[in-house]
Structure 1
Amino acid sequence: MANQLSQHLLKARVASGELDSWISKEGGFQTFSVNSAHNLVRKDFEANSSPIFCKLWRCKAVPSAVLIAWRLMENKLATRVNLSRRGVLVDSLMCSLCGKEEETCTHLFFDCSFARQVWCLCYRWLGVLVVPHFETKNNFDQFRMSPASETVNSVWNTIWVEVVSEIWNHRNNIISKEE
């Protein structure tokens, strides 16, 4: 590939006396800006991304909370089970919040008695009755009001992300106090 690029560049002719300019895939000649490059990359990213992740990345939550939610959806959080799977020695695989089951992402955020209480309080505060889904992406997608506007659903997505972040932060505070 590098060889092909080199050959292509050697064949290119530069006309003296002409102004050099950028050519965009999108719309011909235009002035380059970081914003135009960002928009082009974002369009390409969104075209190749899952709708769930597009909703997540558009969320108005604190960036660190969105990152935690994304890592949860990808099962990449450093739960005790995930750390053990990566070869990290952990004192126990049991949940830091309830101590009753292994600390997986699904258990920690949706099946743990502490997490269920948090979600129950959240649903009650929002005035919603639901049977929550235990698969992370489906739970996120379920946490919205179907007939509501995109603005309202964006707020609900933000609430979901912040609740997930607070459960994770609470878990980490408990672990840091144990050490």
Structure 2
Amino acid sequence: MEERQELEFGEIWKLKIPLKTAVFTWRLIRDRLPTKTNLRRRKIEVDDMLCPFCRNKEEGADHLFFNCSKTLPLWWESMSWVNLTTALPQNPRDHFLQHGTELAEGVKSKRWKCWWTALTWTIWQHRNKVVFQNATFHGSKLMDDALLLLWSWTRAMDKDFTLHFNQWSSNLKEGFCN
């Protein structure tokens, strides 16, 4: 089982993303992030176990990133860029694997995995601002931040990528399928 997982997730280390986000992705997939559920599991006292975004369910990785009423629409929106309709897995491992396959004809697998990482990383960053800085959740700001992050990674790591952010973000279908 362990060896199979290493093969499945070895691709994380091959993505053209910063090392800290690759480590974050690996920790998320292995359920090793300090979510409130994981902190409690480690016998750390947590006063408020609710998701900081929706305030309706306990904050575990599966809920926070993929099932929260505030973050789930972000995944639906990104799937609309490639005209994809599918049931989304509820846990980080399966969710990542689904984004790691060719979900729709022409969708670039590596770019889709980078998008998955950019969006989950940005969700975590926004979560920390809500928890530690009393910020308010703004889905459109979160999506814009994730898109800017992916664009900056792509621009830094791909010498042939020359599109300006506005060009790229105004035609995301083209950005994910070519």
Q: Within the alignment, does 1:145 sit opposite 2:107 as a pair? A: no
Q: How does 1:144-163 map to 2 (within 5 A)?
A: 144-145=101-102, 152-163=108-119
The C-alpha deviation readout for 1:17-68, integer Å capped at 9, x for no partner, is: xxxxxxxxxxxxxxxxxxxxxxxxxxxxxx8862221112211122222211
Distance in 2 (CA, whole Å) between partners of 1:102 and 1:124 is 28
Distance in 2 (CA, whole Å) between partners of 1:118 and 1:112 is 10
Say what the alpha-carbon RMSD is for the aligned residues.
2.3
Q: How does 1:44-55 map to 2 (within 5 A)?
A: 50-55=6-11
Distance in 1 (CA, whole Å) between partners of 2:73 and 2:4 is 36
Distance in 2 (CA, whole Å) between partners of 1:68 and 1:61 is 11
Answer yes or no: is the 8 Å Cα contact 1:109–1:164 preserved in 2.
yes
Alpha-carbon distance, 1:147 to partner: 7.2
- Alignment counterpart, residue 85 of structure 1, candidates 27, 38, 41: 41
| Identical-pair percentage | 27
Range with greater deviation from structure 2 (97-106 or 129-138): 129-138
Q: Which amino acid aligns with 1:145?
A: E
Structure 2 unmatched ranges of 5 or more: 136-178
Quick one: structure 1 residues 96 and 146, their matched pair in 2 at CA, closer, same or farther if it must change by over 3 Å? closer
- Alignment counterpart, residue 134 of structure 1, candidates 77, 90, 93: 90
Answer yes or no: is the 8 Å Cα contact 1:94–1:101 preserved in 2.
yes
Answer yes or no: is the 8 Å Cα contact 1:52–1:137 preserved in 2.
no
Q: Within the alignment, does 1:115 sit opposite 2:63 as a pair? A: no
The SS at the match of 2:37 is: helix
Q: TM-score, normalised by structure 2?
A: 0.66
Structure 1 unmatched ranges of 5 or more: 1-46
Length, aligned pairs only: 132
The SS at the match of 2:52 is: coil
Distance in 2 (CA, whole Å) between partners of 1:106 and 1:175 is 18
Answer yes or no: is the 8 Å Cα contact 2:84–2:104 preserved in 1.
no
Q: Within the alignment, does 1:104 sit opposite 2:57 as a pair? A: no
Q: TM-score, normalised by structure 1?
A: 0.66
Alpha-carbon distance, 1:178 to partner: 2.7
Answer yes or no: is the 8 Å Cα contact 1:81–1:104 preserved in 2.
yes
- Rg comparison, structure with higher value: 1
Distance in 2 (CA, whole Å) between partners of 1:146 and 1:106 is 21
Answer yes or no: is the 8 Å Cα contact 1:68–1:165 preserved in 2.
yes
Distance in 2 (CA, whole Å) between partners of 1:104 and 1:146 is 26
Q: Which residue of 1 aligns with 2:27?
A: 71
The C-alpha deviation readout for 1:71-111, integer Å capped at 9, x for no partner, is: 11111101011111212222211111111000011111111
